[in-house]
Amino acid sequence: MSRRKISIAFGGVVDAVGSLDDSDATTTLILDATEALLRELGLRRWSLDDVAERAGIGRTSIYRHFDSRDDLVHAVLARELRTTLDEIGAAAEQHDSIEDRVVAGAALSLGRLRHSVVERLLQTDPDTFLPFLTLRAGPLLALARTTLAAQLRLLEPGLEPAHAEEVAEVAARLGLSFVLTRDTAFPLDDPRAASAAIERLVRPVLRTLTTTDHR
């Protein structure tokens, strides 16, 4: 199979998060098949025919749901991102203090990273994928910041919007740094120890950002 060009733009992923409806059974089949191919083959070495065969549907069924191969990739990444952000919100709800909520969300996101599509694509297609987690990561960070800030304000009604966005950005940038560089002094293979280490790191920052005297 010939190598194929594909453009991964996180602006497309951000758009897909809001528009993706994966409640439809056929859409789920298509996304599951695409995700499996991305994990096995990376970004380039598969076609829409491969997706159709893996999903057990006709190629025309794919075009009824997605306009292009790029859209399929965006939708898979959007589904993973949305699922992770929802799980972060659910984990945060189990705690009372904002510090504990941020630590719980950060620990969960680190645990999800190890088996994520993003992690796999960084291994298989670093030259293509890496720029969109670095120089072109603005839309991705904006989406994470906006979503996490909204979750924080629901859990902490007294938190000022500007403070919520700052806390959310700290969390998003911390998470992105672990995506990019896995070599770390943090004990990521031990969830409890990792949570304790994250808490030691972020609690002083959060106290500064959430104080009523913050400027």
SS3 100: helix
Mean pLDDT of 158-180: 85
Question: Nearest to residue 26, comparing CAs of 67, 55, 68?
Answer: 55
Instruction: State in words which class domain 10-70 has.
Output: mainly alpha
Least confident of 15-19, 120-124, 166-170, 174-178: 15-19
Backbone angles phi, psi at 93, to 5 degrees: -65, -20
Torsion sign over Cα 133, 135, 139, 142: positive
CA neighbor of 149 nearest in space, from 159, 137, 138: 159
Query: How far is 95 from 102, CA to CA, in rounded Å?
Result: 9
pLDDT in tens, 99-154: 788 788 878 887 888 789 999 999 999 999 998 889 888 888 888 899 889 988 88
pLDDT at 37 over 60: yes
Quick one: 11 exposed, middle or buried, by C-beta within 10 A (0-12, 13-18, 19+)? middle
Residue boundaries of the structural domains of the chain: 10-70, 76-210
pLDDT of residue 49: 95
